[in-house]
Amino acid sequence: MSETEAAGVTDDYSPATAISSDATEHTSIGAVDSVEEAIGGAEKWVDGFQRTVKESTDSAIRSARSLRENSTSQFLSIQDLIPHALTQYKTYENAFFSKVTEELINAKEHPAAAAGIGLAAGLVLMRGITTSSLITFHIRSIQKRFLFRRTLGRFQSEEAQFLRAEKHVQDLNMSVDLMKKESSKLLERSALAEKDMKRGLSELMNSGNNIHRLAKSVHKVECEAAGLMDGLRQIPGREAIKLRAEVASMTSLLRQKRIALNKRIMGMSELGVPV
């Protein structure tokens, strides 16, 4: 190839070489820009992360300082209150022991009054203890029933509850039947007793009337015997004396019977029986 042809070839290829070199240069510049942008974004992210960590650390430090300051202030306030509380305790303790000493001296000077007060206080305390014991027992029984209904009662099935209720109904029916029988028996007995009472009352009234008539008859015979005694006293002789003795014995017996009959009549009148 001649120098002229070689020169021509070189001149033809020079623009292509220039274009490829420009493209390579632009590509390198774009890559460098992308790398710089990535590095800048990474630096920004690292800065933000460090700032967040620093803010969190500062917040934790401030919270710890605040907690320490609050704890310190509370501890100081408690330390300030302790001497005041001790002073109040000593004051109350001195007042209590002085009051107890004074009461002991008064009790020693007045033993009778102290004994009476002690007895009254003991009775009051016993009554309070008895009342409180009854209240406590009642409260415990209520609590037991409440706990049973709230715990074990809930575990019972409806069938068991129905069977128990049915059994209770049967027991009630049996009790009602027994009461009916007993009431009918008592009504029959009361009716018979009423009849007996009426019959006895009528018999008692009849007996009272008979006793009253008998008492009148005895009194009449007694009066006749007294008249006979007066007549026999006027007759002399042994036979008259013997008759007077018999009449006197008969009169004494009649008097005793009349007194007994009158007592019976008075007893019947006190019972409300018309005689």
Q: Is the pTM of this model over 0.75?
A: no
**pLDDT on residue 146:** 61
Residue count (the chain): 275
Determine whether 218 is exposed, middle or buried from the number of CB atoms within 10 Å of its CB (0-12, 13-18, 19+). Answer: buried
Two tokens at 94? 């001195």
pLDDT in tens, 91-101: 766 776 676 67
pLDDT of amino acid 5: 41
| Residues near 9 by beta carbon (within 8 Å), at least 6 away in sequence | 1
Higher-pLDDT residue of 199 and 66 is: 199
| Rounded mean pLDDT, 271-275 | 78
Hunting for tokens 């330390």 — which residue is that? 79
Which pLDDT score, from 0 to 100, does residue 12 have?
Answer: 43
Mean pLDDT highest for which of 47-56, 100-109, 186-195? 186-195
Decide if pLDDT at 18 tops 70: no
Higher pLDDT, 169 or 140: 169
Position 197 pLDDT exceeds 70: yes
Q: Lowest-pLDDT range, 34-43, 59-68, 234-243?
A: 34-43
As a whole-number percent, the residues of the chain with pLDDT over 90 amount to 3
More confident residue, 188 or 136: 188
At residue 163, the pLDDT reads 85
Element (H, E) at 34: helix 3-109
> Three-state DSSP class for 155?
helix
Contacts of 243 (CB under 8 A, 6+ apart): 232
pLDDT at 132: 56
Question: pLDDT-derived band of residue 192, with 50, 70 and 90 as boundaries?
Answer: very high
Whether the per-residue pLDDT at 67 is higher than 60: the answer is no
> Is 122's pLDDT higher than 60?
no
Choose the weakest-confidence range: 15-24, 65-74, 220-229, 237-246. Answer: 15-24
- 200-249 per-position pLDDT tens digit: 888 888 888 888 889 888 888 888 888 888 888 888 888 888 888 888 88
pLDDT score, position 6: 40
Q: Give the DSSP letter of residue 263.
A: H
